[in-house]
Structure 1
């Protein structure tokens, strides 16, 4: 990346940093409800090199798209990839960072439209590079919080904090159990003698089409109707009151409450090394996303069924939904994948590569 930056801008970068993508094992659509999540980082990386640039301006090059964009630091979002970078620069400036102008070079092998959080990887990598360049006294949790603030406040995507936290704090090969209300977290070993497989359905994941915002709004309406600050305050004992809500608020809330319970049960299963139980929880999670939260698609459902038919202990939609990937718990991805691929020619194995 230093070479790319030097080629583009005839200067040596002041800092280079990277951050990974992620897959979520359990805990979908719970993070913006102050709930529990259980993601893991994936070995796909976004790398950012940056240094000083023209006063009042950001000049950034994305190698993946082969394009360079220039914008004023005080410009509004334009609906493109530069928004994520500029949003991070702006929140850093709000925290007191002295940025007069900045040049940025970006490269990434994170698959786009897969629902494995290319945006959080870009945000965390950018903020890490800014931290190194400017000597910012922010820890990895603060990096995640600033990344979320950039995406929600500047980009305009009202995301939870799960993606930024696992990109900033996760360890490859381990799950990150995160309480999104307190931001307490711990790392857990994944099931022994099993592996994760992430498969792209062939349908691009796109949260910005409105479904995500609608689900979040429905959760807020349900919390208001039940007179709680967030759906995190509810448990399975509250299901009779939850199901008395009007459609679809009742089912949206049931998903969040039962998904929080599945994360806690999944953590217990990981702690005792119970891969079979963890797989069962993954299957339950998918059914809840499909039937109660309505974020799955027929192509995703069929892929999950095929994954299970060919021996996966568990499989589910991962990410925000409306396309993207499934994640499966299997004994051996190399022997499992050919049978799945034969039935789903549009699908592709994202991980392991």
Structure 2
């Protein structure tokens, strides 16, 4: 779907709320991160891919003095005066409008298929909104510009000091490749998914653990502060500049743990660039152990789900994905086995877990 198109179902939904059709409709996908977790705000390397689920945003000018914002998922409509931020889901939209330099009052209808919890639902919403605004106002912004604006929305309007990975993945990634991204330089290239010489290209399986990420924002900002302190004590701009784990020995133990995850995770991403599926899976397993023990952003139920996946036949490797404290897990599985693996693991796991991708 192009940014200027509005399929009939979205026109009808927008019209039911606002009494007329939208001027533009745009979409942006969620993402799953295969390797490179909690490294992007330290200038590190990441390997995300887009997922099929999308956020959809329809927009029209209303000629008034207030934005009218409707979430189809929540069944909720908010009114926010132009120039104010609002509450709830509003800051993702009003922040995007403000940073795009738009001063009109807008009617904005949003709907998202992207599950919350580790799959960048917020980035998808930001990028879909920014794409719609770009189309409506013919803004001279490329896809990287939109990603950088989306990150600023998180920092300045939502209050989450995220790195750039989520927005870059939502703006630039696709479902058939990994996006290798240097988050310092923003240099990037698309790479094929890992393959097994005997079985062909592996599949990505994503399962929502069913655990809400209640501590994600506060925990995320705390971890960011800790690695920034570690960088300062080590005399480097970012932990990206540390190549050897032994260099971390001078740090206090808690900061050493946090920094060790970032340094070793960067090394895992670079090693994964030339890895086959089996080796890539082992790197994913090591990543989860690091996130669980050094960075301490996992959750007991997530650890159970990851362990079940790691033991399941047909799985090369598995780990949590996203900020942590709940949310989704990702596994790399043998070609054609994703459905069978998910069914077998969820039968044992129980709870609220459910398959998301494919």
SS at match of 2:354: strand
1:23 pairs, out of 22, 32, 37, with: 32
Q: Which residue in the other structure is 2:54 paired with?
A: 45
Query: CA contact under 8 A between 1:175 and 1:189: conserved in structure 2?
Result: yes
> Secondary structure of 2:125's partner?
helix
Q: Which residue in the other structure is 1:227 paired with?
A: 235
Q: Calculate the aligned-residue CA RMSD, in Å.
A: 1.4
Q: Kindly indicate whether residue 316 of structure 2 is the aligned counterpart of residue 313 of structure 1.
A: yes
Q: Which residue of 2 aligns with 1:263?
A: 269
Is 2:225 the counterpart of 1:217? yes
Does the alignment pair 1:91 with 2:99? yes
Distance 1:350 1:22 in 2: 15
Match of 1:244 among 243, 246, 250: 250
Runs of 5+ consecutive residues of structure 2 not aligned to the other structure: 1-9
- Structure 2 match to 1:178: 181
Long gaps (5+) in structure 1: none
What SS is found at the alignment partner of 1:17?
strand
CA contact (8 A) 2:51 2:357 kept: no
Give matches, 1:1-353, under 5 Å: 1-78=10-87, 80-93=88-101, 97=102, 99-112=103-116, 114-192=117-195, 193=200, 194-206=202-214, 208-235=216-243, 237=244, 239-269=245-275, 274-311=276-313, 312-331=315-334, 332-353=337-358
For 1:43-86, what per-residue CA distance to the aligned partner results, in whole angstroms no more than 9, with x for missing partners? 001100001024332111111111110101222442x1111011
Indicate the SS of the match to 2:253: coil
Q: What is the TM-score normalised by the length of structure 2?
A: 0.92
Structure 2 distance, partners of 1:205, 1:181, is 27
Please state how far the C-alpha of 1:267 moved relative to its aligned partner.
Answer: 1.3
Distance of 2:86 and 2:40 partners within structure 1: 25
Residues 135-183 of structure 1, C-alpha deviations (whole Å, 9 max, x = no match): 0000000000000001111111111110010000011121110011111
Q: CA deviation at 1:284?
A: 0.6
Structure 2 SS opposite 1:133? helix
Is the CA contact (8 Å cut-off) linking 1:24 and 1:319 kept in structure 2?
yes
Give the Cα–Cα distance (whole angstroms) in 2 for the partners of residues 76 and 3 of structure 1.
Answer: 27
In the alignment of these two chains, the number of paired residues is 341
How big is the shift at 1:209?
4.7
TM-score by length of structure 1 reads 0.93
Moved over 6 A (4+): none
